[in-house]
Amino acid sequence: MTNKKYLVTGSAGFIGSNLVKALCENGNSVVGIDSFHSYYSRVIKESNLKGLSKQANFEFKELDILDLETCDIDSDFDCIFHLAAQPGVRDSWGVGFDSYAMNNVLGTQKLFEFAARSNISRVVYSSSSSIYGDAETFPTLESANPQPRSPYGVSKLTGEYLGAAYSRNFGLEVVILRYFTVYGPGQRPDMAIHRLINCAITGQQFPKYGTGEQIRDFTFVNDVVSANILASTASLPTLATAINIGGGNSTTLNFLISSIESISGRQIQIEQGGVPPGDVIRTGADTKRAKELLGWYPRTDIQAGLKLQYEWQLKSF
């Protein structure tokens, strides 16, 4: 098999750094870019990159996707994995949306423009289950009417529409992967599982929003990486194709709390709070399309994944 050359945006982040590692270990050449956005600590992202330092076939550039059109980066890529984004539902309200519009909308447009101008055949775009909002049916099909409940969800859906527009007008192949809550070693510090594990270890209080009966479909990071790699070469029915990537579980926050208490052997102290705007009651992916088009299915169950993440976080204390 011919080794390929890839561009990974957001390569210092949680999913991006794991993807770079897998691509390099498969013998491919990878150029990674990241702007070190201040949403969470640069130190964490630099630590992710340090883990990639032994990969001789990896080149990193500190670069903002907004500057892609004017920079001197190579353009001879077989595929672009576009993971760079401003994450988080709760910070996307009010003046905070300026950053989401800049990074998730304008930045994504710049990325598609770069790909089309450079005659790069395919972009794998990281989208989110947040585009569905409170879905009408579960498990949720890709054909469901998108109705995001947060500005963040709107920004990711806009990225999907931009990809479809570039497909129709320039023949760019765009694979849209809609992730359902990604977790595992390296997870961002703002996410619930990471914060729960930290609270179990330190004894700090965990702010629980609502009853704890809200349901999420959690997806282990290695499974998300696998989906990206498969999406880079899969035969697709349309130039722009959306595919759900979900772990295949229906997990409540209360279940997460009890599971992490069991894994850690420690009780988590709870601080009760209200439900913040933008949070949905339930998410759940129908992944038949992923199986049919990519040959993909989730391999890591929630209990095994939680244990791996707990062991990873425990090392930092």
Return the structure tokens found at 230.
């498969």
Of the residues 125, 152, 166, 183, only one is catalytic, namely: 152
At residue 261, φ and ψ (nearest 5 deg) are -60, -40
What is the DSSP pairing of strand 251-252 with strand 215-216? Answer: antiparallel
At residue 92, φ and ψ (nearest 5 deg) are -90, 0
Number of H helices, E strands in the chain: 10, 13
Q: Using an 8 Å Cβ cutoff, are 285 and 223 in contact?
A: no
**Cα–Cα distance, 99 to 103 (Å, whole number):** 6
Return the structure tokens found at 82.
């576009």
**Cα–Cα distance, 128 to 121 (Å, whole number):** 23
CA angle 248, 79, 184 (to 5 degrees): 35
Q: Which residue has the tokens 């390929």?
A: 4
281 contacts: CB under 8 Å, gap ≥ 6: 134, 214, 215
Active site residue 125: no
Catalytic residues: 152
